Structure 1
């Protein structure tokens, strides 16, 4: 249980550090009259990313594990699906880093 709490704390801290600076960069590049629209688009993109991530995980779990209850017999399939999910997530994150670095700077 403590591992889960520590992992969630680390994830929360990372999201907090990234989210604030990313939002600041986006809002700093927009005219004041478009703050409302920009804030809405940021929220929409974050929610879309979260939804896509959960959908990706569910599809991978369905392919590797199927519609069965988690038991010790299917732990190897669970670990394989987690590895595939992490691999895809790392690839998408690397692409996102390069897309962020390539953006037009004023």
Structure 2
């Protein structure tokens, strides 16, 4: 996404992935959103929503089963956006120090 000065103020990167070959998993080829960034001055203008929509369209044109992403637990704004757009939690990572 470019702003009026032709500067990039947001981007995302989506790649293809697949589940591990294992009898424990149903095999899937899917799109994985590795990065989504929106500059602070571009936030709250639906830029992330537009990027996610484009990523979803790409996933569908590639005939991939679904679009997956990871969000940090300390990013409530991103989590709220993803949930509003219909993304659901599939697993949680827990850590002990």
TM-score by length of 2: 0.30
More strand by share: 2
Tell me which structure has the larger Cα radius of gyration.
Answer: 1
More helix by share: 1
Greater RCO, 1 or 2 (C-alpha within 8 Å, sep 6+): 2
